């Protein structure tokens, strides 16, 4: 049976049949345990998100690959904790970098919704999933019944809507991923940070419910007189670690923008 993974304490080394994660050493409140660098394939490998420009991590990935050739490097999106090491890694393994945003590509080929990348007889189906950022992509591995989700879905907690993202896009993306997970019978979500999620529908329903709940809370906070994003964060994100409030403020801005357009 494909799609199985071995749950261990840390995301490092978590895997499905044809995907394996090497965790970058950049833990933080925003990046959780660090950035997940996913290796997909067999004798030939596609590397998804080399992570930040951390030479020790990139060397570890290269050593782990041994004789296996990297055919392509793909990015789930352009944020630095995923893409920063892509240029250096591309030179190390002599492979192109493909991303939705042309600024993050190295080589001729782009990457967009509907593309199918093949490696070692495996298929990687590209889903355009804007929201967390405008250029976010997810990657479906039909042979493993697994979806790589980048920062669109994280292994723990919830994601933020970055300045270059948008909430209406994000809500559409969540609905699309939920429908895909159901029709494709997905068995695992492989996130850009945090552990593998073994209940895709449950995780997506949780994200969708969380978004609706936050929107309701923001409406209520406004009705009670909170005006600025900061005032709203103080009410709505009271339960969240204060060091995350600047990020929460960004999410509130995205939500206000969304509500004001309804």
Which residue bears the tokens 């292994």?
155
Interface characters, 77-116, with Zn ion (x: CB under 5 A): ----x-----------------------------------
Q: Under rule CB under 5 A, how many of the chain's residues touch Zn ion?
A: 2
Between 47 and 226, CB nearer to Zn ion: 47
Phi/psi at 147 (5° precision): -115, 120
Phi/psi at 85 (5° precision): -90, 0
For the bound state, the minimum distance from the C-beta of residue 139 to Zn ion, rounded and expressed in Å, comes to: 15
54 belongs to the binding site for Zn ion (CB under 5 A): no
Between 20 and 151, CB nearer to Zn ion: 151
Phi/psi at 26 (5° precision): -130, 55
**Residue 98 neighbours by CB under 8 Å, 6+ apart:** 72, 73, 74, 75, 105, 107, 109, 110, 111, 117
Cβ atoms of 77 and 105 within 8 Å: the answer is no
For the bound state, the minimum distance from the C-beta of residue 48 to Zn ion, rounded and expressed in Å, comes to: 12
For the bound state, the minimum distance from the C-beta of residue 103 to Zn ion, rounded and expressed in Å, comes to: 17
Q: Which of 20, 33, 54, 151 binds Zn ion (CB under 5 A)?
A: 151
For the bound state, the minimum distance from the C-beta of residue 99 to Zn ion, rounded and expressed in Å, comes to: 14
Residue 30, judged by CB atoms within 10 A of its CB (0-12, 13-18, 19+), counts as middle
Between 85 and 215, CB nearer to Zn ion: 85
Residue 25, judged by CB atoms within 10 A of its CB (0-12, 13-18, 19+), counts as middle
Site residues for Zn ion per CB under 5 A: 81, 151
């Amino acid at each position: 049976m494909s799609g199985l993974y071995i749950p261990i304490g840390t995301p490092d080394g978590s895997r499905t049949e044809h995907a394996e994660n090497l965790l970058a050493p950049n833990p933080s409140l925003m990046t959780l345990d660090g950035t997940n660098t996913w290796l997909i394939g067999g004798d030939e490998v596609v590397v998804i998100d080399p992570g930040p420009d951390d030479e020790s991590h990139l060397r570890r990935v290269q050593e782990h690959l041994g004789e296996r050739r990297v055919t392509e490097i793909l990015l789930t999106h352009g944020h630095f904790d995923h893409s920063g090491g892509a240029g250096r890694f591309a030179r190390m393994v002599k492979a192109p970098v493909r991303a939705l945003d042309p600024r993050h590509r190295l080589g001729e080929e782009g990457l967009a919704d509907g593309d199918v990348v093949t490696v070692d007889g495996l298929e990687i189906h590209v889903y355009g999933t804007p929201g967390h950022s405008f250029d976010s992509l997810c990657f479906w591995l039909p042979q493993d019944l697994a979806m790589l989700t980048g920062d669109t879905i994280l292994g723990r907690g919830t994601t933020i809507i970055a300045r270059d993202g948008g909430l209406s896009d994000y809500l559409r993306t969540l609905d699309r991923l939920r429908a895909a997970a159901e029709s494709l019978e997905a068995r695992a979500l492989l996130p850009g940070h945090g552990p593998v999620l073994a209940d895709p529908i449950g995780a997506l329903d949780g994200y969708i419910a969380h978004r609706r709940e936050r929107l309701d809370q923001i409406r209520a906070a406004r009705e009670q007189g909170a005006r600025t994003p900061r005032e709203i964060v103080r009410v709505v994100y009271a339960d969240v670690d204060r060091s995350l409030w600047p990020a929460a403020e960004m999410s509130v801005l995205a939500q206000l923008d969304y509500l004001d357009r309804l």
